[in-house]
Amino acid sequence: MSTGVRRRMGVEERRQQLIGVALDLFSRRSPDEVSIDEIAAAAGISRPLVYHYFPGKMSLYEAALQRASEELKARFTEPHEGPLGTRLLRVMSRFFEHVDEHGPGFSALMRGGPAVGSTTTNALIDSVRQAAYDQMLAHLGIADAPPRLELVIRSWISLAESTALIWLDGRRIPREELEVQLVHDFAALVAVSAARDEGMADVLRAMLEDEPADGPFAELVGRLSALAS
């Protein structure tokens, strides 16, 4: 028979529990709307005990953002196998899945929330963007990006971030359409740069080399050709 006695958590286990509870609350509502009392109640402990593990809501918020940033970075991880367009489409699907499930938390991370301008928050945001950038270079098979390619990739990452934030305000365009559109956007940015730079033209050729007839890059080429004719 159960004695009803609750097992006492260790320090790190309790910290991780509080971070998980806070992240869940911040993922469903703006961090400004979540109080320490709510976090304590959800964790089943007293308000003073929350302060025993975290000096204040800001430190708990930053710890939750740290976990959120790690989860978001994981969405960009994709095996380097198969056509690039198909790979990017899978990445965008996982990215928007995360945005859809954790809208307020994603907005809080990328916009800064109550910690806007803090060194910790800015570093977390930069780490997500850098992880996406590194993954894109790896998918392209390029170790050291020339200036034009770096500009294209970082511009595209910024576009994906902005698109997701705008989409969260009403979800007025089907998510699946935006996932494809962002893959097309990347190809279009590379193509515009390729028209001016031979090195970027080589990048574009490599992107299209193994593209199947039903791939997202091929679809974009077909749609543009139809418009031109």
CA separation for the pair 117, 125 (Å, rounded) = 11
Structural tokens at position 60: 């708990």
pLDDT at 64: 84
Structural tokens at position 210: 């193994």
pLDDT at 4: 43
pLDDT at 112: 59
Q: What is the pLDDT along the chain (229 residues), one digit of tens a residue?
A: 444 445 578 888 999 899 988 888 877 777 778 899 999 999 999 999 999 999 988 888 888 888 888 888 888 899 999 999 999 999 999 999 999 988 877 887 777 555 545 677 788 889 999 999 999 999 999 999 999 999 999 999 999 999 999 999 899 999 999 999 999 999 999 999 999 999 999 999 999 999 999 999 999 999 999 999 8
CB 32 within 8 A of CB 114: yes
The pLDDT tens digits for 106-151 are: 887 777 555 545 677 788 889 999 999 999 999 999 999 999 999 9
pLDDT at 71: 85
Give the CA-trace dihedral at 82, 74, 96, 221, to 10 degrees.
-30
Count CB neighbours of 4 within 10 A.
Answer: 5
CB 176 within 8 A of CB 169: no
CB 183 within 8 A of CB 92: yes
Structural tokens at position 154: 């970082």
CB 220 within 8 A of CB 188: yes
Helix H or strand E segment including 31: none
Residues in Cβ contact with 227 at an 8 Å cutoff, skipping those fewer than 6 apart: none
Give the CA-trace dihedral at 168, 173, 176, 179, to 10 degrees.
-70
pLDDT at 62: 85
Tokens 């080399």 locate to: 209
pLDDT at 117: 52
pLDDT at 33: 84
pLDDT at 140: 96
CA separation for the pair 160, 181 (Å, rounded) = 10
Note if the pTM is more than 0.85.
Answer: no
Among candidate residues 122, 109, 73, the one with its CA nearest the CA of residue 94: 73
pLDDT at 107: 80
Count CB neighbours of 23 within 10 A.
Answer: 21
Q: Side-chain half-sphere of 73: how many Cα atoms within 13 Å?
A: 16
